[in-house]
Structure 1
Amino acid sequence: MKSKIMLVDDEKDIVTFMRDSLEAEGYQILVAYNSEEALRQLPQQPDLIVLDIMMPGMDGYQLCEEIRQHVSCPILFVSARNTEHDRIKGLVVGGDDYIEKPFSLKELKTRIFAHLRREHRNSHKAYHRIHAKNLIIDTLAYEVFYQNEKLAFTYREFEIIKFLVMHPNQVFSKEQIYEQVWGIDSLGDSTTITEHIKKIRAKIQKYDPLSTYISTVWGVGYKWEG
């Protein structure tokens, strides 16, 4: 799936110009003509934001600071303001790049591609090391650490942890967990999940007794507390 880009600019002609070109590249485009529209669309989790500075009401600098309270995706400022002070301020308030108007579409697309590629590399590197409260879970090395202490789990116990931690706050029945970990064609019994989770909890609580990691949703199943 192509990345989702939000364009925030009060100049509709420029937005149309950028949107048409980026959609032709296969990107999903969100459009906002002011800060209020941009903030309303943040729950759609854009992968990158192209943000103008000079807008009525809340300007791009203020909006960038507000956005940074909610998402961490790359933010590229585009502006006719081209002083060193403007560029530095854009980076200080949370921007990742600064492009002066007028700009070429080729440069814009190249910078967007470069930032998204870097985000992809960073997420890929971090993907196998998941920080969950006081635990670090390495899904490739099959290791769980509390601070510098390595916790010992069996293969099945780790597979349960891995499955749940990669779907935080999502409730799964014992049958769903069993099928995911043991396989749909396994001849075992899903009631073993209860015993495995009991052991997982006991091992974690030995190191971190005050935190809840796997909670029971009565009558439904279990979930990882995100």
Structure 2
Amino acid sequence: MEQNARPSQGTILVVDDEPDIVSLLEEYFSSQGFRVLTALDGETALKRAEHSPDLIVLDVGMPFMDGYAVCRRLREHLSCPIVFLTARVEDVDALEGFEAGADDYVLKPFSLAVLGARVRAHLARESRHQAKAEVRFDGDLVIDYRARTVQVAGTPVELTRREFDIAAFLAKHAGQVFERERIHERVGGWENESDPQVVTEHIRRIRKKLAAAGLAHDPIETIWGMGYKWRA
């Protein structure tokens, strides 16, 4: 269930295959002023994550796609805090969670007060880092990942949603080479654009728009026979 308004507290995505836990957390966080998105399985969680939640509470022990797999998929696109809910206490499980991209974990059965405190602490820390969402590159190129904007020497560059996703993905992994197929897979959400060849056309348009805005150098390097990389 989604609330219509977006309270100032932010948005939390709650993912658990137990409906009672989802309902409990939805009621609790809603009462605390949060907008709450919910999912009972991994696939639904990935779709809900398209709404850019500020924090995700994610159960580990789900069937079909467990929390570790969901977390890895989410980390391809999202940097928000992810808090695992888990009944496993072994160190190896905690380590696997952190390696998958989790920021914290809370053991079941859990205290709502403790979970709420953990969530607020992570959101407060994230708020302090918001200024870092804006990254400046050579040639007065600035990408604001949170606002999803690009500027060259203060001039806005109007990229489409897909163009921004590709530029942001490459910029976040500066120096790494990605094949077209890999970019197509990692960026995701292509709808009718099922052919990885479209990546080449999007990159051509990104380059053209950046150059038209006055950027002297091309930040995206073509590595012939291999793919593309953002110049580090």
TM range (shorter): 0.5 to 0.7
CA distance in 1, matches of 2:138, 2:58: 33
Equivalenced residue count is: 158
Deviation at 1:21, TM superposition (A): 0.7
Unaligned runs of 5+ in 1: 140-158, 171-197, 213-226
Does the alignment pair 1:130 with 2:120? no
Matched, 1:12 2:4: no
Q: CA deviation at 1:137?
A: 4.8
Amino acid at match of 1:90: G
2:86 to 79, 83, 100: 79
Distance 1:211 1:100 in 2: 44
1:41 equivalent to 2:67? Answer no
Q: CA RMSD in A?
A: 2.9
Q: 2:93 & 2:19 partners in 1: Cα distance?
A: 23
Give 1:71 deviation, angstroms. 1.0
CA positional deviation for 1:130: 3.1
Find out whether 1:50 has 2:40 as its counterpart: no
Instruction: Give yes or no for contact 2:141–2:153 (8 Å, CA) kept in 1.
Output: no
The answer to whether the aligner puts 1:62 opposite 2:54 as a matched pair is no
Alignment equivalent of 1:169, drawn from 134, 159, 162? 159
- State the Cα distance separating 1:163 from its structure 2 match: 5.8
TM-score, normalisation: structure 1: 0.62
Structure 2 counterpart SS, 1:70:
coil
The DSSP-based 3-state class of the residue aligned with 1:50 is: strand
- Percent identity of paired positions between Structure 1 and Structure 2: 36
* Change in CA separation of 1:200 and 1:37 when aligned onto 2, cut-off 3 Å: closer
Rg (Cα) greater in structure: 1
Q: 1:14 to 1:136 in 2, by over 3 A?
A: same
Secondary structure in structure 1 of the residue aligned to 2:77:
coil
Rounded to whole Å, the distance in 2 between the matches of 1:117 and 1:53 is 24
Aligned to 1:111, the other structure's residue is in SS state helix
Cα distance, 1:131 vs. partner?
A: 2.7
Matches within 5 A, 1:147-166: 161-162=153-154, 164=156
Q: Counterpart of 2:30 in structure 1: which amino acid? A: E
1:199 positional shift? 11
Distance 1:102 1:211, change over 3 A: closer
